[in-house]
A and B are shown apart, each in its own frame.
Chain A
């Protein structure tokens, strides 16, 4: 499967100054965009949700879009980050930044654990194994009520005052909260951008393109997959941790397989294997859901229809289609 419209477009048009520049400064561009983004969204909490789910979809996209592995168990990675951050803040009184950091680590660690088992399989079986393992993780967190609050969810992940290098911010304030989250997201985008442009980024692409050839060239494909899965878990873990401090709760639904399905939907909608696609997918999905659910209780009909139409007519997703069009 191939989704590298974006990269192909770039290699095709190395001389096209504007595109090339946009491509090289994509992190900077997104930073500028995120600065004004809240003005385009009905309310700040939604803008924050879009950032968080965009980041979550970005992590998923690294595995599915760039490496070509479809996981139906990403909720476990997102949830691991969320719970790690929540538990550390609530039960161990750690500061918010430690929660974010360790949430990221927890996402990666969870990916490592699931990956050790799942990476032996591929294709549909990989999707199924990750689904099964994430369900096991769900039930473990569900049962560990002492730490996770079980079905009631983990409450009290309250972050009110934060200080960064002497700058004191009131995190409950919606505007502050948005920009703190946005800063984390830009950092993540920067990291992703570095990874994709790095030698390892080339290995990821090569592995997706042709596993047998990559192996014959001397790459340990299984380890490449595992490492990519862990990186993906790190991004998803950070997204989860941000959600924990944004909502100040960690619901058990975070771990539910529907949360895995959601991210597949967002990535598909935005355009798999593209840099900005996941964010566009998350934004379009959540905005539509917000608007439609104010208008009718039958918003799920709409969601389903968008999904089906997307698969049938825009398999490249929104951003993928745009890039394809530009390339032409």
Chain B
């Protein structure tokens, strides 16, 4: 008994250490109890997506705080055990094993890259621990990687690209060139766009793959200009996206064609500046500006602002809120943390926690949800966080997902 206490205290201090290092949030150590519901939370705190990861932690803290204030699970409170996955699947797997074997966590939520989520998922499903993934991937829906313990709160590329494609192809023309980062995220996006484009008879003039982590697109852009497309669809992530958009702007391409992207990252836009993103159209799972129309978003934003000095949550951050919240509400509804009871309870949820109505599809536990189509503004007027216009909403519909059969699940 004493042994376990020391270990858990050491761990707690560790958790607190991470939290303090990333102030302003802190964990309530005083109230720490043996019977807390523990949620492991591996995110890439170090490295290029550190800012994004910090926002994920913040949003997850909001969900924890709300759950605990509402009395927890019959008085049993929840806590978040944050770990740095370093954006490395090997490290993430090690951390996931540690969280399960050592900290005896009840649930796992987290990840910011497809590779990391698949690694964590592999660990959790082998050990029968529920994992809610909060970053994009089509692969995790497929039968080979899916397990009953796998949930996917984030959008997947098929949904995102489909929504953006349906909007863009109907408005800007049929001649399309794809510029895509050469890895699963990018290729899955292109597949999604092409799939959506069938209905519009789009003509693909070029499908150019660039290596991930490219810092210069100048050798690709003249060729794209020569192809004279109506739409240039840039499917890459993070810094790749920022540099591609910046350099496309420098080459004067925005005057020649419409640039679209499956996802416009809120933090990415802030890092790259307004000039690079101006006029680019893309999708997002969440943008704080939807609060004018959606009450749950308003409530979530207000709570977030209150806890973190007026900041607004980012897109990937808000996914962490949803991911943690659904599992905790599932546990609450099930009256237990036993995975076999929590799974059906989460499956049964019809929730509207932060972005309008959502539910998990039975066969692949993919969250069916809306996709917001946004356009990057020229220059924010008075609020520096006011960077996007919402120009359309792709309402939640199972029809926008790949069918269960296509994913290899039995119908």
- Are A296 and B101 in contact, CB atoms less than 8 angstroms apart? no
Q: Which residues of A contact B22 (CB under 8 A)?
A: 297
Residues of B within 8 A of A153 (CB): 89, 115, 118-119
Asked if B46 and A49 sit within 8 Å, CB to CB, the answer is no
Residues of A within 8 A of B245 (CB): none
Give the distance to chain B from A175, nearest Cβ to Cβ, in Å.
Answer: 10
Query: Is the beta-carbon distance between B127 and A172 smaller than 8 angstroms?
Result: yes
Known A46-B94, A253-B88, A296-B17; judge A158-B126 contact (CB<8 A).
yes
B139 an interface residue at 8 Å Cβ cutoff? yes
Contacts of B126 in A (CB 8 A): 158, 160, 172, 248
Interface residues of A in 121-172 (CB under 8 A from B): 142, 145, 150-153, 155-156, 158, 160, 172
User: Which of A43, A160, A174, A254 counts the most chain B CB atoms within 10 A?
Assistant: A43
Cα A42 to Cα B45 with chains together (Å): 21
**Residue-by-residue, is B130-172 near A (CB-CB < 8 Å gives 1, otherwise 0)?**
0000000101000011000000000000000000000000000
- A43-B118 in contact (CB<8A): no
Known: A46-B94, A153-B118, A248-B126. 7 other contacts (CB 8 A): A151-B183, A152-B115, A174-B97, A248-B93, A249-B122, A251-B90, A254-B90
Q: Within the complex, what minimum Cβ distance (angstroms) separates A269 from chain B?
A: 19
Closest Cβ–Cβ distance, residue A61 to chain B (whole Å): 21
**Complex-state Cα separation, A216 to B102, whole angstroms:** 58
For chain A, which range describes its interface: under 10, 10 to 19, 20 to 34, or 35 or more residues? Answer: 20 to 34
For this complex, 18 residue pairs linking A to B, each with C-beta atoms less than 8 Å apart, are A42-B10, A150-B184, A151-B184, A151-B212, A152-B137, A152-B139, A152-B183, A153-B118, A155-B121, A156-B144, A247-B94, A247-B119, A249-B90, A253-B90, A293-B84, A296-B17, A297-B21, A298-B21
Q: Closest residue to A259 on the B side, CB-wise?
A: B90
- A295 CB–B CB distance under 8 Å: yes
Q: In the complex, A142 Cα to B184 Cα: how many Å?
A: 11
| List of A residues within 8 angstroms of B94 by Cβ | 45-46, 49, 247
- Majority secondary structure of chain B interface residues (helix, strand, loop or mixed): helix
Q: Is A299 an interface residue (CB 8 A)?
A: yes
Complex Cα spacing A297 to B22, Å: 8
Q: How far is the CA of A297 from the CA of B48 in the complex (A)?
A: 12
The distance in angstroms between the C-alpha atoms of A155 and B183, with both chains bound, is: 16
A87 beta carbon closer than 8 Å to chain B? no
Other-chain contact of B18, A247, A253, A254, A297 (Cβ < 8 Å): A297
Interface residues of A in 234-279 (CB under 8 A from B): 243, 247-249, 251-254
User: What chain B residues lie within 8 Å of A254 (beta carbons)?
Assistant: 90
- Check: B50 CB closer than 8 A to any chain A CB: yes
Q: Looking at the assembled complex, report how far the CB atom of A247 sits from the nearest CB atom of chain B, in whole angstroms.
A: 4
A156 partner residues in chain B, CB cutoff 8 A: 122, 144-145
Distance (whole angstroms) from the CB of B50 to the closest CB of chain A: 7
B27 within 8 A of A: no
User: Is B123 part of the contact surface with A, judged by Cβ < 8 Å?
Assistant: yes
Among B46, B98, B137, B183, the residue within 8 A (CB) of A45 is B98
Cβ-closest chain A residue relative to B47: A300
Is A44 located at the chain interface by the 8 A CB criterion?
yes
CA A299 – CA B44 in complex, angstroms?
A: 13
Whether A151 and B119, one on each chain, are in contact in the complex, defined by CB atoms closer than 8 angstroms, is: no
Give chain A nearest CB distance to B112 CB in angstroms.
14
In the complex the two chains form, is B115's CB within 8 Å of A42's CB?
A: no
Q: How far is the CB of A146 from chain B (nearest CB, A)?
A: 13
Q: Is A1 an interface residue (CB 8 A)?
A: no
Whether B380 is near chain A, meaning CB under 8 Å from some CB there, is: no
Whether A249 and B17, one on each chain, are in contact in the complex, defined by CB atoms closer than 8 angstroms, is no
> Which residues on the A side are within 8 Å of B123 (C-beta)?
247-249
Least Cβ–Cβ distance between B104 and chain A, in angstroms: 11
Does A326 sit within 8 A of B, measured CB to CB? no
Residue of B nearest to A160 (CB): B126
Q: How far is A155 from B50 in the complex, measured between Cα atoms in Å?
A: 25
Q: How far is the CA of A176 from the CA of B334 in the complex (A)?
A: 34
Task: List the interface of chain B (C-beta within 8 A of A).
Answer: 10, 14-15, 17-18, 21-22, 45-46, 50, 84, 88-90, 93-94, 97-98, 101-102, 114-115, 118-119, 121-123, 126-127, 137, 139, 144-145, 183-185, 212
Can you list the 7 inter-chain pairs with the closest CB atoms, starting with the nearest?
A: A151-B183, A251-B89, A294-B14, A43-B102, A45-B97, A247-B93, A155-B122
Residue of A nearest to B125 (CB): A158
Q: B328 to nearest A CB, angstroms?
A: 24
Of the residues B17, B119, B121, B127, contact of A295 by C-beta under 8 Å: B17
Kindly identify which residue among B50, B101, B114, B119 contacts A174, using a CB–CB cutoff of 8 Å.
B101
Which chain A residues (60-100) contact chain B, with CB distance < 8 Å?
none
**In the complex, A46 Cα to B10 Cα: how many Å?**
16
Q: How far is the CB of A107 from chain B (nearest CB, A)?
A: 17
Chain A residues with CB below 8 A from B98, complex form: 43, 45-46
Q: Is the CB–CB distance between B46 and A300 below 8 Å?
A: yes
Q: How far is the CA of A232 from the CA of B102 in the complex (A)?
A: 34
Contacts of A45 in B (CB 8 A): 94, 97-98, 101-102
Min distance, Cβ A108 to any Cβ of chain B, angstroms: 22
Residue of B with least CB distance to A286:
B94
What residues of chain B lie closer than 8 Å to A49, measured between beta carbons?
94
Q: Tell whether, in the assembled complex, residue A42 and residue B145 are in contact, meaning their CB atoms are under 8 Å apart.
A: no
- Assess whether A43 is in contact with B101, with CB atoms less than 8 Å apart: yes
For residue B89, which residues in chain A have a CB less than 8 angstroms away from its CB?
Answer: 153, 249, 251, 253
Known A-B contacts A43-B102, A46-B98, A172-B126; A295 and B93 likewise in contact (beta carbons under 8 Å): no
On whether the beta carbons of B21 and A295 are closer than 8 Å, the reply is: yes
A150 proximity list for chain B (CB < 8 A)? 183-184
A151/B115 in contact, CB under 8 A: yes
Which of the residues A46, A155, A297 comes within 8 Å of B45, measured between beta carbons?
Answer: A297
Known: A43-B102, A296-B21. A243 touches B122 (CB 8 A): no
Q: CB-CB < 8 A to A44: which residues of B? A: 101-102
Least CB distance from A214 to B in Å reads 39
Q: Are the C-beta atoms of A248 and B18 separated by less than 8 Å?
A: no
What's the least CB distance linking A177 to chain B, in Å?
9
CB distance from B288 to the nearest CB of A (A): 25
> In whole angstroms, what is the CA distance A300 to B50 when docked?
13
A49 to B101, CA, bound (A): 14
CB contact under 8 A between A297 and B118, given known A151-B184, A160-B126, A253-B90: no
Selected contact of B93 from candidates A249, A252, A293, CB within 8 Å: A249
Which chain A residues numbered 283 to 299 have a C-beta less than 8 Å away from chain B?
293-299
Complex Cα–Cα for A121 and B298 (A): 65
- In Å, the complex CA distance between A160 and B127 comes to 10
Chain A, residue nearest B53 (CB): A297
